[in-house]
Structure 1
Amino acid sequence: MSLRNAGNDLPVIDDLLHLFLQDVPLLDVRAPVEFHEGAFPCSTNLPLMDDDDRVEIGTRYKQQGQDAAIALGLQRVSGEIKAARVTAWQHFADKYPEGVLYCFRGGLRSRTSQQWLYEQTGIRYPRVQGGYKAMRRFLLEQLESLPRKISPIILSGRTGSGKTRFLRDLQQQIDLEACANHRGSAFGTQPTPQPSQISFENNLAIQLLRKCHQGQTTLVFEDESRTIGSLHLPDTFFETLRNAPLVLMQVPDEERVEISYQEYVVDNLAAFTAVHSGDAQAGFAAFSAYLLGSLAKVQRRLGGVRYQQARQMMEHALQQQTLDHSTTAHYDWVRFILLDYYDPMYDYQISKKQQRLVFTGSPAEVRDYLNAQSIR
């Protein structure tokens, strides 16, 4: 790691590649609103200033200049507030002695945090030269250049084929749906929210960077549209994927129904309950809203008659579940949605990709094909 001393003799790091390749713990001292707009996978937000502080001090800076803004900052973050924030940084530094800290530009906030931490604890914790802005710019450059260095293979198959599960058994893959925290369909919403677009891009860039530095330039990706939930794939990356060879995995319909039932019903019910701290009633209410809301998203494409059929099946399944906690009635709407809604759409989409199709087979046959391409 490239480490040097700043003018105040506290260390500064400028080796951004090392930070991302080695999962270096990152102490982000920006305000919470900045952190939520965009962050890195290994970052923890322990701000110097809260959101209100940031607004007030920013306004003072515009109206009266830097010195007045600094004076207001020292006034607002003082006494017990200052002590609590330094203590939080100390706990982080003790837990992650190999970590670094940063603010937005690597300027006053990170220097102040670094100095206060040193003065009160003696810890000489490195800060990142250029801060978040330099780190973000570095990753954007990777997102532009790395897609040209990889040789992607696209794994396709009907909805419910278990493509995501299949990918998890490969080393040479990146799970875009996991990055986006979304399954990529109308029913793909997760109990926890998706990351911001910026955080999604940062995560994707870091994963590409690591794979390339491990020599894994042939990578398997699941067949995705440009958007995954509310997020979109970066342009250069998406153009690389949309021209890549396509492998089609074929799975019997009833097996697809079983996989979809497990993911959309059993797994999601457990996940919604977990998000509500194990409260079964609250979890079921959220799960019910998720199912009915997901179905409503495809109402126009289903058409009035088919939508009403599917909704009746779904409402019946939810009512049955409230009576005896059984989830088996959900099989009816799952099968209907897969075969009557998703399959015709998939047939149309795959018909436009035939020139890219290089292999078709069962999951075992697809695995053998990938192994023959030296993909593990």
Structure 2
Amino acid sequence: MSLKEVGKDLPLVEDLRSLFLSGRPLLDVRAPVEFHEGAFPNTRNHPLMDDADREAIGTCYKQQGQDAAIALGMQRVSGDIKDARVAAWAAFAREHPDGVLYCFRGGLRSRISQQLLYESTGIQYPRVKGGYKLMRRFLLQQLETLPSQLQPIILSGGTGSGKTIFLKTISQSIDLEGIANHRGSAFGTQPNQQPTQINFENQLAIDLMRKLDQGQSTLLFEDESRMIGSLHLPETFFKRLSEAPLVLMQVPNDERVEISYQEYVVDNLQAFTALHHGDEAAGFAAFSQYLLGSLAKIQRRLGGVRYQKAHRMMQDALIQQKRTGKTEAHYDLVRFILLDYYDPMYNYQISKKQDRLVFTGSPAEVRDYLNSMGIR
């Protein structure tokens, strides 16, 4: 069979909208380096060529042309190596019979993968026409066009008001911080890394598509700046949110301190410990580094006196925690950072949004208001 005929009669998927709305499992046969730069939700990487193969074949292509590069590829992906890669595809296909595979452009790599899988197992697994490049372009187009179809409502409130907790109780919402894996503040870093910008945008586009497909054009979003950690909201989408009506949720300071203590101290300590497989000493060390590093990020804004005070409080709390295993000593630090640092910044920011403010109330009152707007 000639290369032009490889995969010629095997199934092809062209409807990208249905593909993403359905959440069909995706088999990415690109090299790992490509996969880690950006992929799609519900995707697993089982490459036709590994990174070393890709580099060697790419160099050969530049120096000797396509025919030589293809010959080298056939040589490198053969024998036991080929069998192992086909076996991985077959296992995925049997686990996900409704899935599809793709390479970068939907070209030779995905066609070869399809053909090898079919010849070895008889499985006719579909490939995506246009591959990753077309899929990515399609989702970027959605991020440009879908915001105009939204009627967003923005949930605001001081740090520690439990906005994210509240948001998760509303079905007509999208949790941007959840997608970004970041709480959106200097202390918002999570133990696990943030996704790549590409993966963040892909997930956001798909979530918007699904909400609108379900008839949910009025959606609740948390009040965010353009940046969530190291990630930025797409320009068209952010502009739409920045013009939307604002609902302000008011929570007593003591309750905000308790929520912040739970999220930033208790929950993060547990997460860091879990990340280190239950090793409490390693978890504590990572947690300490996180706190001190987060405080250093706001040193300039705190100013010398307040930074030194906060640093002493943090060091004292960590020393006591290391000695006793208890975290209660962090309460005073949480209250200080919350009321002396975050609140003045928040009050300034909300003062510039008064023309968008449509409702202010307790969480229960905010819920009643949103329900009256048809948001549940």
Aligned to 2:312: 312
Does the Cα contact within 8 Å between 2:6 and 2:112 map onto a contact in 1? no
Does the Cα contact within 8 Å between 2:164 and 2:175 map onto a contact in 1? yes
* Pairwise CA RMSD: 1.0
1:288 aligns with 2:291: no
* Matches for 1:1-376 after TM superposition, within 5 Å: 8-376=8-376
Q: How many residue pairs end up in the alignment? A: 372
Provide closer, same or farther for how the CA distance between residues 371 and 7 of structure 1 changes in structure 2, counting only shifts above 3 A. same
Matching residue's letter, 2:138: F
- Partner Cα distance (1:208, 1:179) in 2: 12
Displacement of 1:371 after TM fit? 0.1
Q: Which moved more, 1:199-208 or 1:270-279?
A: 270-279
Structure 1: runs of 5+ lacking an equivalent = none
- Partner Cα distance (1:233, 1:191) in 2: 21
Provide closer, same or farther for how the CA distance between residues 356 and 349 of structure 1 changes in structure 2, counting only shifts above 3 A. same
Q: Secondary structure at the match of 2:54?
A: helix
Give runs of ≥4 in structure 1 deviating > 6 Å.
none
Matching residue's letter, 1:169: T
Provide closer, same or farther for how the CA distance between residues 326 and 7 of structure 1 changes in structure 2, counting only shifts above 3 A. closer
- Partner Cα distance (2:281, 2:66) in 1: 53
Does the Cα contact within 8 Å between 1:317 and 1:329 map onto a contact in 2? yes
Cα deviations by residue, 1:188-239 (Å, 9 ceiling, x for unpaired): 0001111111110000000000000000000000000000000000000000
Does the Cα contact within 8 Å between 1:185 and 1:228 map onto a contact in 2? yes
- Partner Cα distance (2:338, 2:132) in 1: 44
Does the Cα contact within 8 Å between 1:93 and 1:125 map onto a contact in 2? yes
Matching residue's letter, 2:65: G
Q: Which moved more, 1:57-66 or 1:352-361?
A: 57-66
- Partner Cα distance (1:308, 1:200) in 2: 36
Displacement of 1:6 after TM fit? 8.7
Matching residue's letter, 2:44: T
Does the Cα contact within 8 Å between 1:6 and 1:12 map onto a contact in 2? no
- Partner Cα distance (1:20, 1:147) in 2: 18
- Partner Cα distance (2:289, 2:314) in 1: 11
Matching residue's letter, 1:263: E
Cα deviations by residue, 1:19-53 (Å, 9 ceiling, x for unpaired): 11111000001111111111111111111111111
What percentage of aligned pairs have identical amino acids?
75
Displacement of 1:9 after TM fit? 1.6
Matching residue's letter, 1:224: E
- Partner Cα distance (1:72, 1:277) in 2: 42
Cα deviations by residue, 1:60-80 (Å, 9 ceiling, x for unpaired): 111111111111111111111
TM-score by length of 2: 0.98
Matching residue's letter, 1:148: S
Q: Which moved more, 1:53-62 or 1:212-221?
A: 53-62
TM-score by length of 1: 0.98
- Partner Cα distance (2:22, 2:249) in 1: 34
- Partner Cα distance (1:126, 1:57) in 2: 25
Matching residue's letter, 2:35: F
- Partner Cα distance (1:260, 1:317) in 2: 16
Matching residue's letter, 2:19: L
Displacement of 1:8 after TM fit? 2.8
Does the Cα contact within 8 Å between 2:320 and 2:326 map onto a contact in 1? yes
Q: Secondary structure at the match of 1:368?
A: helix
